[in-house]
Amino acid sequence: MGPMQRACSFSWPLSFTVRALMRYLWIVLVCLGTTPLTAEIYKQAVPTDHGIEFYWWPVLKPVPGWTHDEGASRANGVNAFVPSGYSFSDAPAVIYARALYKPRIPETKSLAQLISDDRSEFQANFPGVEVKELAPIAVGAGSKFRYFSFTPKQQGSFELVAYADDPEFYLIFTLSGKTPADLEKARSAFEKMVSTYQ
């Protein structure tokens, strides 16, 4: 037996090996149960006259009655959906999803801060807006998205927003309606789209 074979042929006693293996499996199972959401993100870099444009957004499964609007997605840097037969500009309600790459926003230290900043910005743009936290939206693997309603007193759009934290991205899913009735009509499609996110 050569020196390399001797170095590779050491074996642990069976009882130690079984205990170590069981401990390792237990740690893996615990970690799987608490692993944060790992986002499925569409990533594309497109050369333009102004440099490279990055398009990063959460991949969503379309629901019946809604279609992906590629033009609005690229123009706004979001994954945009509209009711079938409408465009992003004339739809009574739209759904869009954003993925914010954490290294590009180092000033945002947590999902809670992102939500707080969003809330403050909305309140600055639409004074008197009512913001309520709703029951979270459950998604695969036991994850839950924090869920909020933004209701302006007079002007502005009516919105439902779901937020999630991923190791690399903050994820924001928005349903925006022109009226409360438009928002409610699209709500089930939005919640279904978000709940099937992987």
Write the pLDDT tens digit of every residue in 43-100: 878 888 888 887 778 888 889 999 999 999 988 989 999 999 999 999 999 999 999 9
Residues 196, 27: Cα–Cα separation, whole Å: 28
Pick the more confident residue, 22 or 158: 158
**Banded model confidence at residue 198, pLDDT cuts 50, 70, 90:** confident
pLDDT at 25 over 50: no
As to burial, measured by CB atoms within 10 angstroms (0-12 exposed, 13-18 middle, 19+ buried), residue 96 is buried
The string of pLDDT tens digits covering residues 155-185 is 788 999 999 998 899 999 999 999 999 999 9
Residue 95's DSSP bridge partners are 81, 175
Nearest CA to 172 out of 121, 87, 111 is that of 111
pLDDT at 34 over 70: no
As to burial, measured by CB atoms within 10 angstroms (0-12 exposed, 13-18 middle, 19+ buried), residue 176 is buried
pTM of the model: 0.76
Q: What pLDDT, on a 0 to 100 scale, did the predictor assign at position 133?
A: 96
The one-letter amino acid code at 36 reads P
CA torsion through residues 181, 185, 147, 76, sign = negative
pLDDT at 110 over 60: yes
Residues 62, 197: Cα–Cα separation, whole Å: 10
Residues 160, 130: Cα–Cα separation, whole Å: 12
The one-letter amino acid code at 100 reads L
CATH number of 41-195, picked from 1.10.287, 3.40.1000, 1.25.40, 3.60.21: 3.40.1000
Q: What pLDDT, on a 0 to 100 scale, did the predictor assign at position 41?
A: 82
Residues 184, 132: Cα–Cα separation, whole Å: 15
Q: How far is CA 110 from CA 25, 58, 62, 106, in A?
A: 30, 19, 29, 10
Pick the more confident residue, 34 or 130: 130
Nearest CA to 194 out of 148, 125, 158, 154 is that of 148
SS3 55: strand
Q: What mean pLDDT value characterizes the chain?
A: 80
Specify the domain boundaries for CATH 3.40.1000 within the chain.
41-195
pLDDT at 23 over 60: no
Residue 175's DSSP bridge partners are 95, 160
